[in-house]
Amino acid sequence: MNRLQWSALDEGQRRAALLRPVLQVADATRDAVAALIAQVGTDGDAALREITLRFDKVALDSFDVSDREFAAAEALVAPELKSAMQDAAQRIEAFHRAGMAQPYAVETAPGVVCERVVRPIRRVGLYVPAGSAPLPSTALMLGVPARLAGCREVVLCTPPRSDGSADPAVLVAARLTGVSRVLKLGGAQAIAAMALGTESIGKCDKIFGPGNSYVTEAKQQVARGGTVAIDMPAGPSEVLVIADAGANPAFVAADLLSQAEHGPDSQVLLISDDAGLLDAVEAEIDLQLAALPRVEIARVALSASRLIQVDSLEQAFAISNDYAPEHLILALREPRSWLGKVEVAGSVFLGDYTPEALGDYCSGTNHVLPTSGAAAAYSGVSVSSFQNFVSVQSANQEGIAAIGACAVTLAQAEGLDAHANAVVLRMQAVLA
């Protein structure tokens, strides 16, 4: 990891220190993704088969996971893993159900009632990565709130394995949340299929899920095209840890490596006001890294990561708020007392015994979170992400008489005479 003394950097160097690695390859990624989306838009299923063969080295006649494949997956997944997924799903549901938005109505004037009603998004597409590692936990994180929202049609895309099958654990997780249609499709081509629709895949209204830089770019491109909405830019993964002298170096190193092993384009940052802590964490990273099966992936991610020494913890929080991390770990004494300093973050983890991995799997919060600085404006996935909020208003004769003049005055000020007339005619009818 790169070691930096924040006070010794000028403004340009500070901006460079907080630059995500994916931004450095964005141009090449953008062009490649645009070409894939265009191919799917032109050739539909034929394009999906060709792209899947090109990138995944698998020839597929059908993208749909069959009932036989679902049944086989149930037999292949170990009972202890099924039990863990069931436990996680229960906690995810408990957390998300507690935060569900409620409809409301208010009388804003005599005879005028304004309401907000909640409706599920009709057709949603879920993306579950399975590139370097399958992520059944993501199927839980997306499937549970989609079910709570009541979405009518849910399709889940996940990349095929080398034998043309989908990961069994992902299939079990999907069924556990009520998702019955799973497609063996990955990468930007899966996003394009859900956004545009093909002969066999219906167009979705909104797409959810994390992914690598190609998947994230594809989501942003289809959203800009106006054909579909997305949850947020979600990937590659990142974590920022703020630690003080009392933090456990082994714990901090493990948290950094847990994100670094996601992929070579992941990024991890450690900020501390204690040089000794940075030294100890750096040594721990070397020790733990050597024992990781995904050591080469983590090593690449660490090459674009940072150890930053600051003059004070207040400065650490200022840097964090500028960076807008996906995950923020506060490895501090009395961490809750520092929570008020957090202005921007996807998800926050308080104290020495709250590793980010708990949020990834089973604490109950959602692990589909904004990345690449998007936490400054986006929030993590929740039930409301799968819902539309529709405003409703009603006015009776008393209501139009009470507020009609206000509407007429504003309409005339804006030069919209037809607007004014629509109100005036009703006011005249009431007075007649």
Q: Is 284 an annotated catalytic residue?
A: no
Six token digits for residue 39 = 């191919």
Residue 360 phi, psi dihedral angles, 5° rounding: -65, -30
Q: Is 367 an annotated catalytic residue?
A: no
Active-site residue identified among 327, 334, 343, 367: 327
The whole-angstrom separation of Cα 398 and Cα 323 is: 53
Residue of 231, 258, 78, 261 whose CA lies nearest to 142: 231
C-alpha distance from residue 206 to each of 223, 306, 391 (Å): 9, 35, 20
The whole-angstrom separation of Cα 199 and Cα 42 is: 11
- Is residue 214 within 8 Å of residue 161, measured between CB atoms? no
Q: Which residues pair with 154 in a beta bridge?
A: 124
Residue 243 phi, psi dihedral angles, 5° rounding: -130, 145
The whole-angstrom separation of Cα 233 and Cα 37 is: 17
Residue of 426, 388, 420 whose CA lies nearest to 407: 420
Sign for the CA dihedral angle at 222, 226, 227, 230 comes to positive
The whole-angstrom separation of Cα 265 and Cα 297 is: 9
Six token digits for residue 81 = 């893993």
Active-site residue identified among 217, 261, 284, 326: 326
Give the single-character DSSP code of 204.
Answer: P
Question: Other CB atoms closer than 10 Å to residue 20's CB: what's the count?
Answer: 18
Helix (H, G, I), strand (E, B) or coil at 1: coil
- Is residue 168 within 8 Å of residue 134, measured between CB atoms? no
The whole-angstrom separation of Cα 175 and Cα 180 is: 6
> Annotated active-site positions, please?
326-327
